[in-house]
């Protein structure tokens, strides 16, 4: 195609074309995946953990990553955050290959990511209000009056505006998790990563946290990735599930597809079967050999 200017267009036409291209770019951005794993291989030392992971996560979704203990779920989150880098393949976030970013660019990208860990530890000597305000004070130049409004807004979103003056020691486990959630969304991240957000919660608090993750993702226009073992709560709130096994994505699907799946590995997860493709026993030599009594089985 010939350049626009050669066609005798005036500056107004060029501006118009630029606007169209910008709209197209934004549409593409909106439809392009927020996170993309392409053939990702990773090892801790000589021990391979990921062996060719391909995964694509769309914007606005809540995703669960499930798999047996030690299968590499947290490792996936660490790769997204640029804490570790793949041996082979690439991890892209919002179109940027994470391990190709310089230090400043990586920090800039991380500022758009929120993390909530299992026991999302709060600063014990700061009040609920100050815990949520912490990052705003550290990373922005917002006046205190605006920080106050934003903190109250975040606390209101998790139902704890009334607890703003309490200290962490005065909170229940479920409340502390909600404050940690409010704190992790303080800077309006485009991506939230949750590492086992339901661990140690009673059924009501668990369901509250699940619903909040869904609601906040939708209302704040975020994308959320959860590493979790809680299949039932996950299926209630997520758009898509990835199952990690033997270093690859062994299965994936929507909650309905997961519930209906006949894949033995997925079936074992959904029905909480103790043994199956995910073995009960950690790999070991024959039991009889350990006991020194001749030939026998592993069990
Ligand atoms: N820094 C590290 N150095 C060496 N090995 C590690 C390191 N971090 C994790 N591992 C090992 O890598 C494997 C994958 O760890 P990862 O934490 O990603 O698993 P996971 O699927 O999140 O496990 P879980 O569900 O039990 O939390 C595990 O066997 C773990 O022992």
CA atoms within 13 A on the CB side of 197: 33
What DSSP letter does each residue of 206-270 carry, written as one string? HHHHHHHHHHHHHHTT-EEEEE-S-HHHHHHH-SEEEEEETTEEEEEE-HHHHHH---HHHHHHH
> What pLDDT, on a 0 to 100 scale, did the predictor assign at position 2?
44
> What pLDDT, on a 0 to 100 scale, did the predictor assign at position 287?
73
- Which residues are registered as beta bridge partners of 198? none
Treating both helix axes as pointing N-terminal to C-terminal, what angle do 173-184 and 144-157 enclose, rounded to 10 degrees?
130
Cα of 298 to ligand 1 centre, how many Å? 24
Query: Would you say the CB of residue 228 lies under 6 angstroms from ligand 1?
Result: no
Query: Would you say the CB of residue 83 lies under 6 angstroms from ligand 1?
Result: no
Mutation test residue for ligand 1: of 37, 66, 67, 73, the one with most atoms within 8 Å of CB: 73
Cα of 234 to ligand 1 centre, how many Å? 21
Taking the domains of the chain in order of start, what are their residue ranges? 32-112+191-196+221-299
> What pLDDT, on a 0 to 100 scale, did the predictor assign at position 293?
66
For the chain, which ranges sit under pLDDT 50? 1-7, 295-299
Structure tokens at 56: 């694509």
Query: Would you say the CB of residue 69 lies under 6 angstroms from ligand 1?
Result: yes
The 10 Å Cβ neighbour count of residue 288 is: 13
Ligand 1 atom showing the smallest separation from residue 67 Cα: 21
| Class in CATH terms, 32-112+191-196+221-299 | alpha beta
> What pLDDT, on a 0 to 100 scale, did the predictor assign at position 29?
54
Ligand 1 atom showing the smallest separation from residue 76 Cα: 18
DSSP 8-state code for residue 149: H
Predicted TM-score (pTM) of the model is 0.80
> What pLDDT, on a 0 to 100 scale, did the predictor assign at position 204?
87
């Amino acid at each position: 195609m010939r350049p626009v200017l050669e066609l005798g267009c005036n500056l107004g036409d060029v501006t118009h074309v630029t606007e169209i291209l910008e709209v197209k770019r934004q549409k593409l951005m909106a439809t392009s995946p927020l996170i993309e794993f392409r053939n990702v291989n990773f090892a801790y030392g000589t021990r391979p953990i990921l062996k060719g992971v391909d995964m694509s996560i769309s914007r606005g979704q809540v995703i669960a990553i499930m798999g047996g203990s030690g299968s590499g779920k947290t490792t996936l989150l660490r790769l997204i955050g640029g804490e570790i880098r793949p041996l082979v393949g690439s991890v892209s976030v919002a179109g940027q290959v994470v391990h190709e970013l310089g230090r400043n660019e990586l920090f800039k990208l991380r500022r758009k990511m929120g993390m909530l860990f299992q026991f999302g530890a709060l600063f014990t000597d700061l009040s609920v209000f100050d815990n949520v305000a912490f990052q705003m004070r550290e990373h922005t130049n917002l006046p205190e009056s605006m920080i106050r409004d934003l903190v109250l807004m975040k606390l209101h979103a998790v139902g704890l505006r009334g607890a703003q003056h309490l200290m962490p020691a005065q909170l229940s486990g479920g409340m502390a998790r909600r404050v940690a959630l409010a704190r992790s969304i303080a800077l309006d991240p485009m991506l939230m990563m949750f590492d086992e957000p339901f661990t140690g919660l009673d059924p009501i608090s668990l369901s509250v946290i699940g619903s909040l993750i869904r609601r906040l993702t939708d209302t704040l226009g975020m994308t959320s990735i959860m590493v979790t073992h809680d299949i039932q709560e996950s299926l209630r709130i997520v758009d898509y599930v990835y199952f990690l096994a033997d270093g690859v994505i062994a299965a994936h699907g929507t909650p309905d597809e997961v519930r209906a799946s006949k894949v033995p590995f997925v079936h074992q997860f959904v029905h909480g079967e103790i043994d199956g493709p995910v073995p009960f026993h950690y790999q070991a030599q024959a039991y009889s050999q350990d006991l020194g009594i001749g030939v026998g089985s592993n069990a």
